[in-house]
Amino acid sequence: MTAIPFATAPSLRSNRRWALIAAYACLGIFVIFFLFPPYYMLVTSLKTNAEIAELASNPWIVTDGVTFGHYEHLLTESSFPRFFLNTTIVTVIVVAITMVISVLAAYSLARLRFWGSGVLATGVFLTYLVPDTLLFIPLFKIVGWLGLLDTYWSLILVYPTLTVPFCTWIMIGYFGSIPRELDEAALIDGANHLQMLLKVFIPVALPGLIAATIFAFTVSWANFLYPLAYIYSESEMVLTVGTVTTLIKGDVFHWGGLMAGALLAAAPPVILYAFLMDYYIAGLTSGATKG
């Protein structure tokens, strides 16, 4: 803020107004910046091929009439529905596997005192720091050896290596923030470990559980590298790679279809986020302060 003479120093109230204006201005820029790509995708997906190819046309608005042709083509004449189904199968199974493993792992690492549990907890997190770009080559060997190359089952095997460490870490933080008296009360009430987990820990840590679920969902829904490396047949492909490989023919880009496909592919995560946003934030922040 510019210097203000001491005598006319602003009251707390006008100070607050300026802070609000600044905050809204920053947020406005942020929103425009991040909403630009989806907007551009939406506009492009509604244009005819001719308008997209016309260099002189205005890229920001539809001028030659709205068409749903790209969507129609995508849903009826391409493998897009197949990709969608494959992605859904992979994601659902991966999320299920991830949550079972990471909840059990986090519970034992957070609550059962055993030799080396602290080191193990850190170790779990460190594995998350190894980038996929390094992992996909050795994992390729393993996937090939198991005979899973060119099937989406390879993804179901591989994705948990990305999701389990992070989700375990989130859940350790979350379980760790549950007061110990709660376990002790449950112990005296007669709960065994499984009952304590199912009837006390999971319900209490539900926001963390949802945060972890969203993370696992996003990773398996949006991963590009692994399907690109392991899957070649159109019938086994998932949305990310499938859309791109089938809609780019050599050097011909079907922009309208690409954008329509990308928008449809992005819809499920957006819907999920919208519904679970509050839980997601509560889960992440609580894990953060405790982790």
Partner 1 sequence: MADVTLQNLIKTFDTVEAVRGIDLRIPNNEFVVLVGPSGCGKSTVLRMVAGLEEVTSGDIRIGDTRVNDVPPKDRNIAMVFQNYALYPHMTVAQNMSFGLRLRKVAKSEIRDKVQRAADILGIAELLDRRPRELSGGQRQRVAMGRAIVRDPEVFLFDEPLSNLDAKLRGQMRIEIQRLHQQLRTTTIYVTHDQVEAMTLADRVVVMNAGRIEQAGIPDEVYHRPRTRFVAGFMGSPAMNFLDCQLTEENGRTVARLAAGPALPLPAEQAARVRSYTGRKLVAGLRPENIREAASHDGTNSSGVPHDISIDIVEPLGRETIVYFRLGDATLCARVGTEVHPRAGEQTSLVFHPDRLHLIDPETDLVL
Residue 75 tokens read as: 């849903």
Q: Give least dist CB 207 to partner 1, A.
A: 11
Quote the CA–CA distance of 68 and 51 in Å, as a whole number: 14
Of residues 210, 214, 227, 101, the one with CA closest to residue 165: 101
For the chain, what's the residue count?
291
Nearer to partner 1, 63 or 195 (CB): 195
Residue (5 or 190) nearer to partner 1, CB: 190
Shortest distance (Å) from residue 201 CB to partner 1: 10
Contact between 206 and partner 1 (CB under 8 A)?
yes
- Residue window 10-29: x/- pattern of binding to partner 1, with contact defined by CB under 8 A: --------------------
Helix axes 12-45, 255-290, angle to 10 degrees: 140
**Cα atoms found within 13 Å of the Cα of residue 70, Cβ hemisphere only:** 27
Number of residues that bind partner 1 (CB under 8 A): 17
By C-beta, is 3 or 188 nearer to partner 1? Answer: 188
**CB-based contacts of 261, cutoff 8 Å, min separation 6:** 74, 80, 239, 243, 247
- Least Å distance, CB 184 to partner 1, is 5
- Shortest distance, position 169 Cβ to partner 1, whole Å: 23
- C-beta closer to partner 1: residue 118 or 123: 118
Stretch that binds partner 1, among 41-49, 141-149, 175-183, 263-271 (CB under 8 A): 175-183
CB of 170 closer than 8 Å to CB of 284: yes
Q: Which is nearer to partner 1, 187 or 271 (CB)?
A: 187
The single-letter DSSP state of residue 68 is: -
- Tell me which residues in 176-205 interact with partner 1 (CB under 8 A): 179, 181-182, 184-191, 195, 199-200, 203-204
DSSP state of 10: P
C-alpha–C-alpha distance, residues 277 and 275, integer Å: 6
Question: Contact positions toward partner 1, by CB under 8 A?
Answer: 179, 181-182, 184-191, 195, 199-200, 203-204, 206
